[in-house]
Amino acid sequence: MQAIMEPIFDILYLLTVSAIGIFMIVKGKTNKQYLLFGIMAVVLGFGDAFHLIPRVLALTAGEGGFEKYATALGIGKFITSITMTGFYFILYFIWRERYKIEGHHYLTAIYLFCGVFRIVTCLFFPQNDWINNNANCSMTWTLLRNVPFIIVGVIIITLFATSAFKHKDKNYYCMFITIILSFGFYIPVLFWADTIPVLGLLMIPKTCAYVWTVVIGLVDMLKTRKQEKLEANAQ
């Protein structure tokens, strides 16, 4: 069953977020916030494709599929690690654009430092053992690579939660929840899936949380465009 349902889910996910991203880039190109949101969705789909497509191939290859595609899966994880950091970089600047944030350079510096530190640890150190799908990666190194990413998550959750309620931004009330869910489902997989394989199933609701994040931006853009048309017709 998994060999059928999971590939279908993965392909639908990649097509959905990529299509939404392209649509938002095309329709929202005159609005910086929606343009950034579209780019963010495309980055999400592009990065996840490098991990999910080998996973689909491994699932449909029959017995021994994951061993056969171990290198492709490891490299896919590496690319996804970089693009997911980029995803949260862009989301931070969406927050600044949406709520017209000025200053806060210290916050930007902390946020960017954590993200760059994660990218550097992913890129340049053999301890990650990407080529063998992290088979020889220690828990210590996993922590070193991911704690800065979790800090980024805590920051962006706090920013969206406080700003949405402060500005009574109903369209974005759930944004911080989607980020909490994505990290909440990701962390158990990251640290314990090797010893408790069933935890790998949490990647499905994690993926759904990312889709929810993207859909929030899409719905907000459509509402804004509709309101602008009504105001233009009323003049």
Q: List per-residue pLDDT tens for the chain, 235 residues long.
A: 677 888 899 999 999 999 999 999 999 888 999 999 999 999 999 999 999 999 899 888 878 888 888 899 999 999 999 999 999 999 999 999 999 999 888 999 999 999 999 999 999 898 998 988 887 878 888 888 999 999 999 999 999 999 999 999 999 999 999 999 999 999 998 888 777 777 878 889 999 999 999 999 999 999 998 888 887 777 6
CB atoms inside a 10 Å sphere around CB 131: 14
Distances (CA, A) of 119 to 40, 49, 86, 146: 17, 19, 9, 10
Position 221 scores a pLDDT of: 96
212 in a structural domain:
yes
Q: How far apart are CA 75 and CA 54, in angstroms?
A: 10
Report the distance separating Cα 208 and Cα 99, nearest Å.
26
Residue 232 resides in a domain: no
In a domain, 233, yes or no: no
Tell whether 231 is covered by a domain.
no
Residue 66 tokens read as 């994951």
The CATH number of the domain holding residue 216 is 1.20.1070
Q: Could you tell me the pTM of the whole model?
A: 0.92
Range of the domain at 91: 2-226
Residue 124 lies in a domain: yes
- Domain count of the fold of the chain: 1
Q: Is 145 inside a domain boundary?
A: yes
**205 domain residue, yes or no:** yes
Output the pLDDT for position 230: 82
Question: Is residue 235 one of the residues assigned to a domain?
Answer: no
pLDDT for position 147: 93
